[in-house]
Structure 1
Amino acid sequence: MADTPESLSEEFSTFSTYTKTPAQALDLIERARTKCPVPHSKELGGFHIYMNYEDVRRGLMDWKTYANGPSVLRPYIEGSPVFPPLSMDPPEHTPWRKVFSDGVNIRTADRIGPAVRADAIELIEGFAEKGACDLHLDLAEQVPMKAIFHILGLPREHHERVRSMTLNVLAHVNQPEQFAKLFQEFSEYGWSEVERRKSDPKEDYLTVLADARFGDRHMTPFEVGAAVVSLLVAGHGTTTAALTNLLYEVLRRPQLKQRLIEDPALIPKAVEEGLRLHHPFFGLFRKATEDVEAHGAHIKKGDTVYMCWQAANRDPAVVDKPLDFDIDRPEFQHLGFGLGKHSCVGAPTARMEMRVVMEELLARLPDIELAEPEKVKWDFHGAETLGILHLPAKFASRPRRAS
C-alpha cells in the first residue's frame, strides 16, 4: 500500500525514540520527507517534528522563535535537571556560555592533545596482547571521559572516583529525587576542587570556574556542580557514540581502512563523514515562542518542536547519496555540533579525540577488523541518545609496545 500524507501522519502519531527503533524511525522519516514534512507525535506531551535540513538548520539558528528552555528533553518534569547553557536562552544563557567557552575552546584541543594521545596509546596497548577487544567499552567509552578529566584538571588519582560518580549521575537523569542527591555529592566534590584553585590556579577548567563571575559574585557550589555535570553530559556520551560509530564505519570497509593507514591525512575527512551520518543525539526539543507555519503545519506558541539532527544530515535535498559513508564527498556543513548560539564549544576537542584515536589504532593494529559486523546494532538509550554499545574486534595478538 502506497504511503499517503494521512497514513504517514498516523504512523508519526506514536513516534518517539522510546517507541521506535532507530531503523524504524529512519525508515519512517525517509518515507515522509516530502509527503508529510512536518508531522506531529502525541508522545511525550506532543511535539511537531522538523526533519529536513533547511527546517532544522533554521530552527537551530533562530533561538528567539525556538527556545531551548526550560529543557531540550521531553517529557519535561518540574524539578528535572537543567543543564547550562544548553537548556537556557539569552539573557540567562549569555554568562553561562562565557564560562564554558572560557574553559573549552579552540585552544583546548592543543592543550590536552598530547594527554589524549597518551591515553589512547595506553588503552590500545592494554588490549594488544589479547588479540581481541570491545572497541566501544575498551576504547571509545574511556577516551572522552579521560579527556574531560584533563580539561577539568583533575589529578589522576581522582579519575576513577569521578568516573564512578559521573556514570551514576547520568544513569539517574530521569529520576529527579535520586539525581538531586547524587548531584549534591558531585557539587561538593567540584566545589572542593574549585576552592583549591583559588589559592593554586592552573591552566584548566576548574580554575576558570574559580575565577568566573556572574555579575558581582562568584559561582555558587550548586552552579559549579551544574557546570561540571553539564560538561560531562555534553562531552562524554556524545563523543563516545560518535567515536564508536566512526570505528564501525571505517573498520567494516577494508579498502577505506587501508587508505587511512597509507594516508592518515584523510582521517579528518572520515571524522566529518562519521559525524554527518551518525549523530549522537537523534534530535533535541525546542519550544515555539510564537505561532509558526511550516509546510502547512500550524505550530502554536508554546508547542514543542523536535529538531531531528540525524534526519537533517541525511536529507537527499542537500546531500548526494546521503546514506553512503563517503569521505570524498564535497565539503558539507553538517549539523553534528549544532549551529548558532547553542553550537558546541567542544567541537574542536571532540574532533581531535576522534582523529587521535583513529590514528593510533590504525598505526598500532593495522590488521584490526570487526569480529561480527553483521551483529552490530544501534539502539536508543534515553535522553535522545543513539549509538552502538558493543563493537567487538579482532586482530593478531602482539607484544605490548612502548609509547
Structure 2
Amino acid sequence: MNDVQALDRVPDHIARAVVDPHAYAEFDGLHAKLTELRREHPFARAEIEGYDPFWIASKCKDIQEIARQSEIFRSGIYFIGTSKDIELEYTQGKASQERVLTSLNAPEHMKYRLLTQNWFQPKSLRTMEERIRKIARRHVEEMADLGGECDFYHSIAVHYPLRVIMSIMGLEEQDEAFMMRLTQIVTNIDDPDLTGEPAPKSAEERAQRSRAISDEASIFFKEVARRRRADPTDDVATVIANAKVNGELISDFDALGYYMTVAIAGHDTTSASVAGAIWALAERPSEFARLISDLSLIPNLVDESVRWTTPISHFLRTAGQDTVFRGQPVSKGEYVLLSYTSGNRDEEVFEDPFEFKIDRPMNKHVGFGFGSHVCLGQHLARMEMTILFQELLPRLKSVELTGTPKRKITHALGGPKFVPIRYKMS
C-alpha cells in the first residue's frame, strides 16, 4: 500500500478494448493497448458508457497480490459486463439459478472447494493416468486417420478434454452432444461460429439465452444427481451429488453450480491451450524441431501454452471495503478486473514475453488464476496436455499452418477457434 495519489484513469480506447469481445479475436491490436496500459497506467480506473466504473490490474505481480488479499477483494460477479448485463444476470439469467466456486468467499468457498479437491490432486490423478492416456491415443489415431490436414481445434482440441472430463464425471458417451452444446453456449455466447446462433443483440437477449441453457443444464444434472444418490459410483458426479456442507446435503442449486464449474472449466480452457500450443508450434519450425528432439521439454511446453494462450481473459473482484492499492483509492463496492491476458505478457516478469519458448523456465504465470481461487483443475489440465503431447509428438514428423488461425469472439474464456494445419505422422 502506498500514500493515496491522484486518480489514474484508463484511456478510453484501452478500456473499450478490454471489454470488447471482438478485440480478443484480434490479439495483436489488443496486446499493443495492454502494453501501453502496463507501462502508463498499471492500476487505473476505467469509466466507459454502459459499464459501472471498474479498475484494471494489468501487472502480473499486482494481479497476484490482489488475489492474495481475498478478505479485501471479494469474489462474486466473475466476468465484466455492462450494468444492464449484470443486473439481468443476477435477476433473470444464469447467476440467479446457480452458484459457482469462483463466486464464493471464505469460509464458504473452502468448504465447497474441499468437497472435490482430493479428486484433482496429483496423487489421485495418477490413478486415472491410463484412462486419460487411452482417450489421448484415440484422438492421436483420429488425427492420423484424417490424412494429413485438419482444423486442429474442431477435429481434436475441442473433443479431447471434454471426453476426459466426462470420464472423470462418469457421464455416458450419449451425453457428449449436450455437454458440447452446453460448454459452447455458456463460454462462447458472442461467437456465432461456435454457438451456431447470432450473437445476442441486447442484454435482455443475453440473459434469456443464459437462462435457457441453464434450465437445460439444471434438468440434466438433477437427473445425474438423482441416479448417483440412488446408485453411487466412483466418479466426481457421485461426490457432488452426495456432498455435505455443515452436515447437510448441498442444495440442487449449489450442485448445479458445481457440475457446471467442473464441466465448463474442465473443458474449454484446456481445449484452448492445446490448440494454442499446436498453433504456436506450426508457426515456429525451429521450436517444433527442438521439442521433437527433446521430449523432456513437454512440461515446459504445457505451461508456456497456458501462458501464451491465457484462455481465461480475466476475473473480477469487488472491493469489500474502502482501500488503497498502488496508491489509488478503491471504494467499497467497486469492481477490480484482473487482466490475466495482460499479466501473462508482463515484461517485468517474463523475458521476451511475446515470444513462444518451449524451454521457458517453469514460470509464475496467471493462466490458472492465483490465490485461494486458483484453478481447482490445474493439475488435471497439465496432466491432460502432457499425456496428449507424449502420445502425439513422437508420431508427429512435421506440422505447418495452411491458413490463418482465428480466435474466439469473447472477453471472458478465449483462445483459438480455428487452427488449420498440414502435418505428417508415422
Shift of 1:228: 1.1
Which residue of the partner structure matches residue 201 of structure 1? Answer: 232
Q: How far did 1:163 drift?
A: 3.0
Q: Helix, strand or coil: the match of 2:16?
A: coil
Aligned to 1:33: 38
**Could you tell me how far 1:8 is from its partner in structure 2?**
6.5
Contact 1:9 1:40 survives alignment (8 Å):
no
Identity of aligned residues (%): 25
Cα distance in 2 for residues equivalent to 1:14 and 1:105: 39
User: Secondary structure of the residue that 1:367 maps to in structure 2?
Assistant: strand
| Distance (Å, rounded) in 2 between the aligned partners of 1:210 and 1:163 | 21
Task: Kindly state the Cα deviation for residue 138 of structure 1 after the two structures are TM-superposed.
Answer: 0.7
CA shift, 1:262, in A, is: 2.6
CA offsets 1:154-199 (integer angstroms, 9 cap, x no match): 1233333433444345556973334334323322322322232234
Mapped partners of 1:29, 1:297: distance in 2: 19
Q: Choose the corresponding residue for 1:144, options 161, 166, 175.
A: 161
Relative distance call for 1:37 and 1:267 in structure 2 (3 A) is same
Q: Deviations over 1:296-317 (max 9, x none)?
A: 4322111111111121122111
Which stretch has the larger CA shift, 179-188 or 385-394? 179-188
CA distance, structure 1, for counterparts of residue 238 and residue 9 of structure 2? 56
Q: Secondary structure at the match of 2:219?
A: helix
Find the aligned partners of 1:163 and 1:378 in 2 and give their Cα distance: 18
Change (3 A) 1:250 1:397: closer
Q: Structure 1: which amino acid aligns with 2:333? A: G
Deviates more, 1:151-160 or 1:106-115: 106-115
For the pair 1:57 / 2:64, whether they are aligned, the reply is yes
**Separation of aligned partners in 1, 2:263 and 2:398:** 33
1:134 alignment partner, one of 112, 127, 151: 151
Whole-Å Cα distance in 2 between the matches of residues 61 and 6 of structure 1? 23
From 137, 140, 144, the equivalent of 1:124 is: 140
Q: Which residue of 2 aligns with 1:341?
A: 372
Moved more, 50-59 or 201-210: 201-210
Alignment of 1:1-400 (within 5 A): 9-18=11-20, 20=23, 21-43=26-48, 44-75=51-82, 76-77=86-87, 78-79=90-91, 80-82=93-95, 83-129=99-145, 130-170=147-187, 175-372=206-403, 375-382=404-411, 384-396=412-424
TM-score, normalisation: structure 1: 0.88
Structure 2 CA distance for aligned equivalents of residues 98 and 72 of structure 1: 24
- Are the equivalent residues in 2 in contact too, given 1:64–1:289 (CA < 8 A)? yes
TM-score when normalising by structure 2: 0.84
Deviation at 1:331, TM superposition (A): 3.4
Q: Does the CA-based 8 Å contact 1:12-1:39 persist in structure 2?
A: no
Contact 2:297/2:359 (<8 A) preserved:
no
Structure 2 unpaired stretches of 5+? 1-6, 191-202
Residue range with higher mean Cα deviation, 119-128 or 83-92: 119-128
Give 1:280 deviation, angstroms: 0.6
- The more displaced of 127-136 and 166-175 is 166-175
2:139 counterpart letter in structure 1: L
Q: Give the Cα separation in 2 of the matches to 1:225 and 1:293.
A: 37
Q: Is the 8 A contact 2:344 2:366 kept in 1?
A: yes
- For structure 1, the residue ranges without an aligned partner over 5 or more in a row are 399-403
Q: What SS does structure 1 have at the residue aligned with 2:381?
A: helix
Residues 99 and 386 (structure 1), Cα distance of their counterparts in 2 relative to 1, 3 Å cut:
same
Determine the C-alpha separation between the residues in 1 that align with 2:359 and 2:144: 31
Kept after mapping to 2: 8 A contact 1:238/1:280: yes
Whether the 8 Å contact between 2:143 and 2:156 is mirrored in structure 1 is: no
The match for 2:196 is: none
Residues 216, 122 of structure 1: alpha-carbon distance in 2 compared, 3 angstrom cutoff: same
1:289 and 1:301 in contact (8 A); partners too: yes
State the 1:109 CA deviation: 3.1
* Residue number in structure 2 paired with 1:401: none
Residue 346 of structure 1: CA displacement? 0.4
Return the offset for 1:50. 0.6
Count matched residues.
391
For 2:44 and 2:29, how far apart are their aligned partners in 1?
15
Rounded Cα–Cα distance in structure 2 between residues aligned with 1:260 and 1:112: 26
Question: Is the 2:54–2:336 contact (alpha carbons within 8 Å) kept by the matching residues of 1?
Answer: yes
- Provide the rounded CA distance (Å) in 1 between the counterparts of 2:424 and 2:301: 25
Deviation digits for residues 273-329 of structure 1 (CA, Å, limit 9, x no counterpart):
122222112211111122233344322111111111121122111222211122333
Matched residue type, 1:9: P
**What is the CA RMSD across the aligned residues, in angstroms?**
2.6
Residues 213, 7 of structure 1: alpha-carbon distance in 2 compared, 3 angstrom cutoff? closer
Alpha-carbon distance in 2 for matches of 1:265, 1:211? 41
